[in-house]
Amino acid sequence: MKKAGILGGGQLGRMLLQTAINYPVETFVLENDPDCPSAHLCHHFILGDIQDFETVYAFGKELNVLTIEIESVNVEALEKLEAEGVKVIPSPAALRIIQNKITQKKFYTQHQIPTAPFLVTEKKADLEQHTDFLPAVHKLASGGYDGKGVQIIENRDQLSLGFEGAAVLEKMIPVELEISVIVAVDTKGAIVTYPPAAMVFDPQLNLLDYQIAPAPITSTLAQQADAIARQVAMAFQSPGLFAVELLADQSGKVWVNETAPRVHNSGHHSIEGNMCSQFDMLWRILLEYPLGSTEALCTTVLVNILGSEGAAGAVLYKGLENVLATPNAYLHLYGKQLTKPGRKMGHITYCGNNVQDLIEKAELGKKQLKVVAK
């Protein structure tokens, strides 16, 4: 039985472990929180820092295959492990490019992959020279996560909002729609893509409101998104699962926003909505089995369950019974013991055929379920 390690023990690791149950694999998780969502669901839980060279190296050296559920891991240790014969998926080389938004953006340019024009800034004061580039988005090169480390700068009065560290300043694109395409690449280079998912944002809060998959878009746009996502994944020359986040502008042109070389929030609907889920697919890649089918089984609308504003502490879910009384609502909680405002605590996938009906159910579900602190 192969020994497989996951760096990180959050909800992505948790759902990976939920699928690992079906496969012949001995699972190892490295994470520095003993109460993390994955801790009790693996064969071996190792408490430790995924950013520490020695810790990651020691964790990986007896394993057959290693993967990640978060990008902020020690890539030098992964490079050494790979050199010593441990299979690392995604490849440390791909991970190194992606970890830093400057190298990631340069990579797209170098591979003629459409992405918003950008500049590199080393410190906040550099922004002064680029006022004619505004409006733009300032993104910290590393350390950003879930919207942190990203700042819109509309005009010169907002320059002070910029970051002090190394960052990219990306030209603002008139975004019509955000799309995600998940690409799976196996160790032999076989490649499949999931139908695109569309992200719908709350215009007030700029938070993901819900996600529709397959995206209700023209086949031309879907094909363009699929082709660019494949181009991105192939350019990385690495096996793995790649969530390619795309922006479609008002003219229908598609740009790459960023790529995550791992299972991704924008693929959670695949658990119920596709023949082979993104989690199942990654195990097939890790264990060197044939890729699964990405065929959609139904239309899905997915909402994240987020910690309520103003509530921090031991979590309490109010109104779960309402969600569970909806026959086509699939609940997934992440087992986090503490809630805080905006924290991802779970998701609900609504499955069916009528997208408008699903959206209404999802909107209702968001009202029915409250995540509060005890």
The footprint of a copy of itself (CB under 8 A) covers 14-15, 18, 21-24, 27, 40-43, 275-276, 284, 289-290, 292-293, 295, 297, 317, 320-321, 324-325, 327-328, 330-333, 335
Closest to a copy of itself by CB, 37 or 162 = 37
Closest to a copy of itself by CB, 6 or 15 = 15
Q: Measured from the CB of residue 347, what is the shortest distance to a copy of itself in angstroms?
A: 10
Type of residue found at 45: F
Q: Are 336 and 37 in contact (CB under 8 A)?
A: yes
Q: Are 339 and 372 in contact (CB under 8 A)?
A: yes
Three-state DSSP class for residue 102: helix
Q: How many C-beta atoms lie closer than 10 Å to residue 258's C-beta?
A: 18
Q: Are 30 and 50 in contact (CB under 8 A)?
A: yes
Q: Report the C-alpha gap between 227 and 221 in whole angstroms.
A: 10
Residue 298, class by beta-carbon neighbours within 10 Å (0-12 exposed, 13-18 middle, 19+ buried)? middle
Q: Measured from the CB of residue 244, what is the shortest distance to a copy of itself in angstroms?
A: 23
Q: Measured from the CB of residue 334, what is the shortest distance to a copy of itself in angstroms?
A: 9
Q: How many C-beta atoms lie closer than 10 Å to residue 228's C-beta?
A: 21
Q: How many C-beta atoms lie closer than 10 Å to residue 43's C-beta?
A: 14
Q: Are 249 and 174 in contact (CB under 8 A)?
A: yes
Closest to a copy of itself by CB, 85 or 290 = 290
Closest to a copy of itself by CB, 37 or 214 = 37
Q: Measured from the CB of residue 20, what is the shortest distance to a copy of itself in angstroms?
A: 10
Q: Measured from the CB of residue 340, what is the shortest distance to a copy of itself in angstroms?
A: 17
Closest to a copy of itself by CB, 169 or 182 = 182
Output Rg (C-alpha) for the chain, integer angstroms.
Answer: 20
Token readout for 138 is 């300032």
DSSP letter assigned to residue 158:
G
Q: Measured from the CB of residue 352, what is the shortest distance to a copy of itself in angstroms?
A: 10
Q: Measured from the CB of residue 200, what is the shortest distance to a copy of itself in angstroms?
A: 24
Q: Are 287 and 25 in contact (CB under 8 A)?
A: yes
